[in-house]
Amino acid sequence: MAEITDTAEVPEPGRSSDDKKPRRGGKRGKKGPLARLALFYRQIVAELRKVVWPTRHQLTTYTTVVIIFVLIMIGIVFVLDYGFSEAVKFVFG
């Protein structure tokens, strides 16, 4: 059985094998904390502009559906709880 003893490292994409300098994080590594915070804030605003916000009609429809669903679930849990409590009273007196 042949043993492989070659330990040549594969360079990262975009870097040559002679380049031994550690990566500094690109443009982000050169900025101070306030500049990075400002960049973070600008990125948040840019992402929020991509969001498709619901219209008022859609929002009221979604809210109504959620409230009705929650009320139905409350009813189911109430009925089950009442039924189990009556069964326990019947069994244990």
**Per-residue model confidence (pLDDT) at position 17:** 57
Confidence of residue 61 (pLDDT cuts 50, 70, 90): very high
**Per-residue model confidence (pLDDT) at position 93:** 81
**Could you write out the three-class secondary structure of the chain?**
CCCCCCCCCCCCCCCCCCCCCCCCCHHHHHCCHHHHHHHHHHHHHHHHHHCCCCCHHHHHHHHHHHHHHHHHHHHHHHHHHHHHHHHHHHHHC
Mean pLDDT, residues 50-67: 96
Its pTM stands at 0.50
How far is the CA of 88 from the CAs of 45, 83, 92, in angstroms? 56, 9, 6
